[in-house]
Amino acid sequence: MMNGPACECGEELRQTQASSENMPQKKLRKKKKITAGRIATYAMLILIAAVMLFPLYYLVNISLKSYDEFLTNPTGLVRDVQFSNYSQVFWEMNVISRFFTTVVLVAITCVLSLVLALFAAFPLSRNYFKSSGKVMLFILASMFFPGSLVANVIILKDFLGIYGTPAALVVIWVSGGIPMNVFMLIGFVKSLPRELDEASFIDGCGYFRYVITTAVPLMKPIIATLIMIKAISSWNDFLGPFIYMNDPMYKTLSTGLYTYMSQFGAAWNKFAAAIFVVALPMIVIYIFFQRYIIEGLASGAIKG
């Protein structure tokens, strides 16, 4: 919005002018204010920002040190930058296979939980069959069913026999996501015009084809939000894969990191590299889509 040299006082002045153009009445009040308050505001903002960044800085800093430098100078700034930790960690932790395991599982989860929820939300919000109100109530109430680790393990182990496999994890993730997705989708489907349904049906479009070809493109924003929420929460989930997918063949990035960390002693320079490698994909995605991510996650929390 504003460019040029960043000086706090000049910045302040320009800011006042910019805002006064928009709302002329505020000009008087803003100009009266002492700049000390604004300087304090900036100081606080930067202080909190420093606190937020410090752990990341410390991780990167320590991950660039060789083991000798790490032993002699653990806390100071890195003197001799080395990337050997990263290359070591990359192979030792099987980053590539962990990454693909996570991507595939998260993708399956997102698609399944969305498709199932979509075909549940549509008839429920349109009253396509009798007692759909009761079904809707049941699905919404299921958000408050007490989750039970004991029972989940028993069902997966003794009834279904898939405990420990990726299928168990996907099933747990999908079933966890459905009620919220249905809830959010119902709200959105209600805003779609009913005439659209009727017009397509008259044209001979089947129900499933109608939902996929006509409704889904109209629901892009909510679908993107829901997929994003589910993808981020399952990507970052640790307990789920740790409990339900304990097959050593399959590990997500987060459980892979956990086992990697528990294998070795206290080689924190390597650990730091490992942590940063695991964090990196999310950081990169976040840098590009931060606005959508923040809004999506917040809206999910407020409505859900």
Q: Taking CB under 8 A as the rule, does residue 21 contact other proteins?
A: no
Alpha-carbon dihedral angle through residues 282, 236, 234, 240, given to the nearest 10 degrees: 160
Site string for other proteins, 24-63 (x = CB under 8 A): -xx--x--------x--xx-xx--xx-xxxxxx-xx--x-
Nearest to 182 by CA among 228, 125, 111: 125
Least Å from the CB of residue 5 to other proteins: 12
Query: Which of 105, 124, 184, 226 forms a contact with other proteins (CB under 8 A)?
Result: 124
Query: Which of 69, 70, 86, 230 forms a contact with other proteins (CB under 8 A)?
Result: 70
Q: Which of residues 230-259 bind other proteins (CB under 8 A)?
A: 232, 235-239, 242-243, 254, 257-258
Part in contact with other proteins (CB under 8 A); list of ranges 20-28, 78-86, 93-101, 103-111: 20-28
**Residue given tokens 């009040």 in the structure block:** 29
Q: Taking CB under 8 A as the rule, does residue 224 contact other proteins?
A: no
Assess contact for 297 and 231: CB atoms under 8 A.
no
Backbone phi and psi for residue 77, each to the nearest 5 degrees, phi listed first: -70, 145
In the DSSP assignment, the letter for residue 147 is: P
Least Å from the CB of residue 249 to other proteins: 19
Assess contact for 303 and 184: CB atoms under 8 A.
yes
When the beta carbons of 100 and 292 are compared against other proteins, the nearer one is: 292
CA distances from 158 to 151, 175, 250 (A): 10, 19, 21
Part in contact with other proteins (CB under 8 A); list of ranges 80-88, 89-97, 118-126, 215-223: 118-126
Residue 224 C-beta-side C-alpha neighbours within 13 Å: 10
Q: Taking CB under 8 A as the rule, does residue 194 contact other proteins?
A: yes
Q: Taking CB under 8 A as the rule, does residue 94 contact other proteins?
A: no
Least Å from the CB of residue 20 to other proteins: 11
When the beta carbons of 123 and 216 are compared against other proteins, the nearer one is: 123
Q: Which of residues 201-220 bind other proteins (CB under 8 A)?
A: 201-204, 206-208, 211
Part in contact with other proteins (CB under 8 A); list of ranges 77-85, 92-100, 217-225, 291-299: 291-299
3-state helix, strand, coil in the chain (%, to 5): 80, 0, 20
The 10 Å Cβ neighbour count of residue 129 is 9
CA distances from 122 to 86, 101, 144, 183, 216 (A): 48, 32, 22, 11, 11
d(CA 304, CA 288): 25
Q: Taking CB under 8 A as the rule, does residue 302 contact other proteins?
A: yes
Q: Taking CB under 8 A as the rule, does residue 111 contact other proteins?
A: no
Part in contact with other proteins (CB under 8 A); list of ranges 23-31, 86-94, 103-111, 219-227: 23-31
